[in-house]
Amino acid sequence: MSLSSTISELLQKTDKIVWGPYMIALLLGTGIYLLIKMRFLPVRNLGYALKCLVKSGKDFDGEGEISAVSSLATELAATIGTGNIVGVATAMTLGGAGALVWLLLSAFAGFSTKFAESMLSVKYRTKNADKITVGGPMYTLKAAFPFKKTGAVLGAMFAVFAVLASFGMGNMAQSNSITSALREAFSIPVHKSGIVVSILVILVILGGIQSISRFSLYMVPAMALFYVGGALAVIIVNIDGLTSGLKEIFTMAFSVRAVAGGIGGTITASMQDAMRYGISRGVFSNEAGLGAGGISAAAADTASCVKQGYISMTGVFFDTIVICTVTGLAIASSGVLGICDENNVPLTGAALTIAAFSTVFGDMGACIVSIGITLFAFATIIAWEYQGERAFEYLVKKSKLCIVYRFTYALATFIGAVCTLETVWNFSDIMNALMAIPNLLCVLALSDEVCGDMMRYEKNKNHSKL
C-alpha cells in the first residue's frame, strides 16, 4: 500500500470517529439547548435580524474595521462555497436524499450557536499591536472562560485548529472543487487552473481585510443570484418530479433502511447515514458551531454585540435554508440521484449537480454549475484566509509574520487543487470537528451571559432605532 493510500485510509477512519454520534449530539445538542434557553428568539427574530442587515449600512458607531454588512459578506463568502453545491450532492449520495432534511434541521439549531459565537466575539474583541480590531472564540476563551488557565489552553487549541481548518475546509477543499469543475466543464488540466487560482488568491489577500471585504461585498450577492436563479429554473422545469422527490427526501430521512434513486441506479442509506452526512455537510456549509465566523464578525463597525449576533445569524439562513435547499430540491426533482457513470459508479459531488442542471440546460448545465462552483469556492478561499490569518496571528503574537501565512496559504491552494477529493474532504471534516469542540464549550460555559445580554436587548429593541 502506498503512502498516499495509507494517509487516505487513516483520514477516512479518523473522520468516521470524530463525526460519530458524540459529535453529532454535541453540535445538535448545543444548538437545541441554546435555542430553548433563548426562548427560540433566534428563530422568532429572524425577520428583525434581516431588517438589521438591511439598515446596517448606516451603523458606523463601533470599533471595527469594516461595516456590519461587509462583515456579513465576508462571513458569507467564507461559508457559501462548495458545501452548497458539492457538499449537498455528496451528502445526498452517501446519506440518501434524506440527508437534506438533517442538513436543514442542523441549520435551525445553528441559528443559536452562530448568534452566540458571533455575539461573544464582538463583545470580547480587542486591539492588536497594530491597533487593528481583532476577535474570535480564541479571544473569548482567553478573556471570559470561567477557568482562566483552561480558557487560555482552549483558546490556543481553537486557534491551531482554525489555522488547519483554513488550509483544509477554507482552502484545499475549495481549490480542489474549482479545478475539478473546470476540468469537467472545459477540459482544463488541474495543475494549470491550480496555478492561476493560487496567483489570484495572493493578489487579493495581500490587501488585508479591506481588500477581502470589498471583494466579498460585490462578489457574494452576484454569485448567489447567478446560482440560485439556475437552480430555481431546474426545479420549475422539473416541477412534476418535485412531489416524488420530496417524498423520497422525507422517507429516507427517517427510515431505518431505505432504497431510492433515479433511472439507472439506486441509493441505499439508513437514518444514521442521513444524519451523519446531512449534519456534517450542513456544518461544512454554514459553519454554525465552528466559531470561525466570529473572527469576521469581530471586525464589524458596530457598538452592539447582540445586534451583530443577529446579523451574523442571517448567514445561516442565506447559506443553508436558501442555497442548500435549492440545490437539494434541484437534485431531487430532476430524478438524477442514484444514476451512474460509465463505470457504473453513482454520480456524486459536482457531477451529480451538473446532471441535475443538464436536465434543463443540456450541455450548458455543466458550464453553469462549474462557474457557480468556481465563484463560490474562490470567494471562500479569500474570506477564510482572513479568519485563518487572525488565528495564526493569535498564536505567533507578531503580525509581521502573517506574510508567511499568506504565501503558505496560496501554496496550499495549489496543493489542494491536485489532491484527491476524498482525502481533502476527510481532512476538512476532521478539522471542522476539532475546531468545534473548544468553541462549543465556550458558548455553553457562557450561555447565561449570552442569554442575559440577549434578553436585555430584547426588552429595549422595540424602543430603539435600528
Q: How distant, in Å, are the alpha carbons of 9, 214, 383 from that of 205? A: 34, 11, 9
Domain that holds residue 172: 3-44+78-113+144-288+315-458
In-domain check, residue 358: yes
Q: Sign of torsion, CA 49 446 442 124?
A: positive
Domain count, the chain: 1
The Cβ of residue 103 has, within 10 Å, a number of other Cβ atoms equal to: 34
CA–CA gap between residue 89 and residue 328 (Å, rounded): 7
Q: What is the pLDDT along the chain (466 residues), one digit of tens a residue?
A: 566 677 777 877 887 777 777 887 888 889 999 999 999 999 999 999 888 887 765 554 556 556 777 777 777 777 776 677 777 888 887 777 788 888 888 888 889 999 999 999 999 999 887 788 889 999 999 999 999 899 999 999 999 999 988 888 788 888 887 887 788 778 888 888 888 888 888 888 877 667 777 777 777 788 888 889 999 999 999 998 888 888 878 877 776 555 455 444 455 556 777 777 787 777 767 778 888 888 988 888 888 899 999 999 998 898 888 888 999 899 988 888 877 777 777 777 778 888 899 999 988 888 888 888 888 888 888 888 888 999 999 998 877 788 888 889 988 888 887 776 677 777 777 887 888 899 999 999 999 999 999 999 998 876 455 4
CA–CA gap between residue 85 and residue 455 (Å, rounded): 37
CA–CA gap between residue 95 and residue 102 (Å, rounded): 10
In-domain check, residue 69: no
The β-bridge partners of 268 are: 259
CATH number assigned to the domain comprising residue 282: 1.20.1740
In-domain check, residue 90: yes
- What's the whole-model pTM score? 0.84
In-domain check, residue 419: yes
Place of cell 500500500: 1
Q: What is the DSSP string of 346-388?
A: B--HHHHHHHHHHHHHTTHHHHHHHHHHHHHHHHHHHHHHHHH
